Amino acid sequence: MTAGTMLYEGKAKKIFSTGDPDRVLQYFKDDATAFNAQKRGTIVEKGIINNKVSERLFRLLEQNGVPTHFVERKSDREMLTKKVAIVPVEVVVRNVVAGSLAKRLGLKEGDPIQPAIVEWYYKNDALGDPLIADEHIRLLKLATPEQMAEIKRLALKTNGLLQPFFAERRMILVDFKLEFGLHHGQLILADEISPDTCRFWDQTTKESMDKDRFRKDLGRIEEAYQEVLKRVCG
């Protein structure tokens, strides 16, 4: 199945039509952005790594009852997926205090969060993807309360599957972002799960193994992504 018309280009991916109206092709780019695209750069082979890592994790989730948009990986940078209508709410699951949560609430980075918490962010680049509450979601008609309850259930189930998976690979899943979409009326997990969308720390050293290395100019960015690929995919 070959790429047709480009339907959408985001910060990290391009989406193309295919000969099947029910399928699209995701192309993973090496472009890197941070701080709502105020910082831009390139991470060599990031697209290849994110595509392969996402495939491994989507397969794991599908095998354990979490529906996803994944169909198959077509090449190093291309993934065939089900066509979805994205719910414009970014879902962040947090297991450890880090990033904006630490700054926002004055909490100590690195403290565990038990049980995990789920946050909603309005998927709107012009507004900087602000943190929102259930009432805002209803006000903006982004999703129904029933849909958000299902999204939360699937997000926590995903967390329950991914945490031990990464722990076995000497990685701490600090937090991660998910996106969901509607496919023939069913809510399914979409987008990607990768070092771009997750915060990983090495279990022993607590060193960052994700896009924070780009955000914070920590160096050894490509090496960190390659290490994630090695641990996740072998």
All structural domains of the chain: 6-82 (3.30.200.20), 85-221 (3.30.470.20)
Please tell me the predicted confidence (pLDDT) of residue 151: 98
Helix ranges, the chain (H): 46-63, 99-105, 134-140, 145-167, 212-215, 221-233
Residue type, 80: L
* Cα angle: 200, vertex 203, 207; to 5 degrees: 60
What SS3 class is residue 203? Answer: coil
Q: What pTM, to 2 d.p., does this model score?
A: 0.94
- The torsion defined by the Cα of 232, 181, 124 and 34, in degrees rounded to 10, comes to 10
Question: Rounded CA gap, 89 and 196, in Å?
Answer: 17
Beta bridge partners of residue 6, listed in sequence order: 16
Please tell me the predicted confidence (pLDDT) of residue 147: 98
Residue type, 54: S
Please tell me the predicted confidence (pLDDT) of residue 1: 60
Per-position pLDDT tens, the chain of length 234: 667 899 989 889 999 999 999 999 999 999 888 877 677 899 999 999 999 999 999 999 999 999 999 999 999 999 999 999 999 999 999 999 999 999 999 999 999 999 999 999 999 999 999 999 999 999 999 999 999 999 999 999 999 999 999 999 999 999 999 999 999 999 999 999 999 999 999 999 999 999 999 999 999 999 999 999 999 998
